């Protein structure tokens, strides 16, 4: 079942379900449909409102106003909106607006749990468009949760460089980052990206961690401006 199969309309609101994502519709028509769906509040209507976040219309001010109206129309239905939002997150590559909705309806711990559940279904192999995975990893950088390090560490070996970069950032954002010291060191040795290696080294410096294993190998991979002390401490020239 595809994304828009999930969100097809029927009954008395069918035209509004179709019109809310119709770029060719008049602005006042889409606005009317957003209001009708927001007032309806059925699961079908909430699913349809969520699809408004998958398109962009001109001018940008209109696009923003319509998306904000859809956002408000979903949030006002409280817990009834959580299921449709989760369905939308599973089916769509759009992350920002549904996460914003969940932040209004759930605790930080619950929202983080949703992100981790989505991430658990993703792999580290090559994919044509890894943006959704990258967005989730980037979102986890802004959160602290004891579950994050374990969930993110496998993405240190991701095929996508940007995903690896955000995986490193997400780990270092956690209080339990030290649990990944060995994994970070191993990933550093295999890493070809300078910015990922620099981010890793800066993280070691900030936490005063020492390289206890593979010091010689790490020394060979140091980018310009970095060095290792006798005790394995990472140093950066100022």
pLDDT at residue 212 in the model: 83
pLDDT at residue 186 in the model: 96
Each residue's pLDDT tens digit in the chain (238 positions)? Answer: 344 444 444 457 899 999 999 999 999 999 999 999 999 999 999 999 999 999 999 999 999 999 999 999 999 999 999 999 999 999 999 999 999 999 999 999 999 999 999 999 999 999 999 999 999 999 999 999 999 999 999 999 999 999 999 999 999 999 999 999 999 999 999 999 999 999 999 999 999 999 988 899 999 999 999 999 999 999 998 7
pLDDT at residue 138 in the model: 97
User: Exposed, middle or buried: residue 221 (CB in 10 Å: 0-12, 13-18, 19+)?
Assistant: middle
107 vs 102: CA distance, rounded Å: 8
Q: Are 61 and 81 in contact (CB under 8 A)?
A: no
14 vs 18: CA distance, rounded Å: 6
Asked, as a colleague might, if the bond just before 59 is cis with ω within 30 of 0, I would say yes
Q: Are 7 and 50 in contact (CB under 8 A)?
A: yes
Q: Where exactly are the structural domains of the chain?
A: 1-106, 136-238
- Tokens 């310009």 sit at which residue? 224
pLDDT at residue 6 in the model: 42
pTM: 0.88
pLDDT at residue 213 in the model: 82
What is the maximal distance between C-alpha atoms in the chain? 75
Backbone angles phi, psi at 12, to 5 degrees: -70, -15
Q: What is the dihedral of CA 101, 150, 141, 107, to 10 degrees?
A: 30
């Amino acid at each position: 079942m595809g994304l828009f199969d999930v969100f097809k309309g029927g009954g008395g609101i069918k035209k509004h379900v179709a019109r809310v994502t119709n770029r060719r519709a008049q602005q006042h028509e889409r606005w009317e449909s957003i209001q009708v769906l927001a007032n309806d509040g059925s699961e079908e209507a909430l699913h349809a409102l969520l699809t408004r976040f998958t398109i962009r219309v001109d001018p940008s001010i209109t696009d923003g106003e319509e998306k904000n109206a859809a956002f408000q129309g979903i949030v006002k239905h409280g817990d009834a909106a959580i299921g449709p939002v989760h369905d939308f997150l599973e089916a769509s590559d759009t992350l920002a607006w549904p996460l914003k909705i969940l932040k209004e309806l759930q605790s930080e711990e619950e929202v983080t749990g949703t992100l981790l559940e989505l991430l658990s279904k993703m792999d580290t192999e090559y994919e044509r468009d890894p943006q959704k995975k990258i967005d989730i990893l980037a979102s986890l950088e802004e959160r602290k949760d004891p579950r994050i390090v374990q969930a993110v560490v496998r993405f240190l070996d991701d095929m996508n460089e940007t995903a690896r970069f955000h995986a490193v950032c997400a780990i270092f954002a956690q209080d339990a980052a030290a649990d990944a010291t060995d994994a970070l060191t191993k990933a550093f040795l295999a890493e070809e990206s300078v910015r990922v290696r620099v981010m890793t080294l800066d993280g070691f410096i900030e936490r005063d961690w020492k390289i206890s294993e593979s010091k010689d190998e790490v020394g060979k991979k140091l980018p310009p401006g970095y060095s290792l002390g006798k005790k394995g401490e990472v140093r950066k020239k100022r």
